Amino acid sequence: MSTAERTAKNSGRTSSGFDIGKILLEGRAFFALLVIIIIFSLLSPNYFTVNNLLVMSQHVATFAFLGIGMLLVILNGGIDLSVGSTVGLSGVVAGYLLQGVHLPAFGVTLYPAVWVVVLCAVAVGALVGVINGVLVSKFGVAPFVATLGMLYVVRGAALLITDGKTYPNLQGKESLGNTGFNHVGFDSYLGIPIGVLIMVVLAIIGSILLNKTSFGRWLYASGGNERAAELSGIPIKNVKISVYVISGICAAFAGVVIASELTSANPTTGDTFELTAIATVVIGGASLMGGRGNIRGTLVGAFVIGFLSDGLVIIGVSEYWQMVFTGAVIVFAVMLNRVQYRSKKAKSRQTPTAGDLGADPAGGEVDLERKEVGSSPSAG
């Protein structure tokens, strides 16, 4: 056996260049999802059925909404801790409007149509994103601090609107013309829940945004090396504000869907969802340092968390042990994430490759560190 063959064998790579370790490491979220499905299917005959998979996918959709928005923020090198509170506030705004808006000056109570209610709730999420983005990009506040502050502000606003109470019975009344809100969470099209369809649409839009637009190239570039991106003429402040706005909109969608499913709006809904969103992105293989990750991985990460949580419920594991298992999976994912990107960084120092030198939005990885500073971005 030659020296090269022995080296390849020791590193887990075959003589033909087939690296098993690399495949397992980069595809860990997909393999973890397969293991989860197999184990819970063996433990419960009700787990791997069409109806149960659709129900679990509906739950996964909520995590996916948050994960897609959080992915864009993390790609940009930031973090958004306010998404959980935004979920609660957007649901409360929807519930408030469906209860009727009383105008004392005119002596009337308005009952907006459902589509107006949804648009207003989403607009609230976008407003929270604008504030986060301006604080981070214009005033230089650290993303962790800015969004942590907004976490409390937004949650407090939701509690003030409802006075700490829950808006029940959001089905609306046909005589008032505001029925149909519960369809978002309950109904399906061609057997697929509406929430899952919204998730698919958001994922497609997100993939196109990241892989086919100038904004996507700017986002990967500014997340990989913000200073180099700025010198290359990329409007990094506008990109930064945009990703927080998108994150807020995605969180608002999650809040609307949850309020529709429950036909009620509680100001504490979404508590700790910000951590679930971060975990979804990390399990999906994105780097917390920014510049690396994709929508495909984030979706798989959402399925891992959702299928694991629902599987533990189905086999009767207590809520406390569910938290232990979910937390252990997240910690393990972060460890593998660190191993993956530390090894890539070490290799890039040793041997520059074409991938290191150029943009690769389709692969979800761009590194401007080795690009010539001052060159204009390829994005038009």
pLDDT tens per residue across span 287-329:
888 888 899 999 999 999 999 989 999 988 888 888 888 788 8
The pTM assigned to this predicted structure is 0.83
Q: What are the two backbone dihedrals, phi and then psi, of residue 107, each rounded to the nearest 5 degrees?
A: 65, 30
pLDDT score of 95 more than 80: yes
Tell me: the pLDDT tens digits for 199-227?
999 999 999 999 999 999 999 998 888 88
Region 267-289 average pLDDT: 89
Q: Tell whether 190 is covered by a domain.
A: yes
Count of domains for the chain? 1
Bigger pLDDT: 125 vs 377:
125
pLDDT score of 371 more than 70: no
Region 5-23 average pLDDT: 59
Q: Tell whether 117 is covered by a domain.
A: yes
Give the residue among 243, 278, 276 at the shortest CA–CA distance from 136.
243
Interatomic CA distance for residues 26 and 367, integer angstroms: 18
* Predicted confidence band of residue 20 (pLDDT cuts 50, 70, 90): confident
Q: What is the pLDDT of residue 369?
A: 41
> What's the token pair of residue 37?
């499905």
Q: What is the pLDDT of residue 343?
A: 63
Q: Tell whether 156 is covered by a domain.
A: yes
* Predicted confidence band of residue 345 (pLDDT cuts 50, 70, 90): low
* Predicted confidence band of residue 251 (pLDDT cuts 50, 70, 90): very high
Interatomic CA distance for residues 223 and 231, integer angstroms: 14
Q: Tell whether 217 is covered by a domain.
A: yes
Q: What are the two backbone dihedrals, phi and then psi, of residue 377, each rounded to the nearest 5 degrees?
A: -65, 150
What percentage of the chain has pLDDT greater than the value 70? 85
Q: Tell whether 21 is covered by a domain.
A: no
pLDDT score of 182 more than 50: yes
| Domain span holding position 171 | 78-271
Q: What is the pLDDT of residue 104?
A: 80
Q: Tell whether 169 is covered by a domain.
A: yes
Q: What is the pLDDT of residue 148?
A: 95
Q: Tell whether 127 is covered by a domain.
A: yes
Q: Tell whether 358 is covered by a domain.
A: no
Q: What is the pLDDT of residue 160?
A: 95
* Predicted confidence band of residue 13 (pLDDT cuts 50, 70, 90): low
Tell me: the pLDDT tens digits for 28-39?
888 889 999 999
pLDDT score of 73 more than 90: yes
Contacts of 47 (CB under 8 A, 6+ apart): 37, 40, 41, 311, 314
Interatomic CA distance for residues 29 and 329, integer angstroms: 10
Q: What is the pLDDT of residue 327?
A: 82
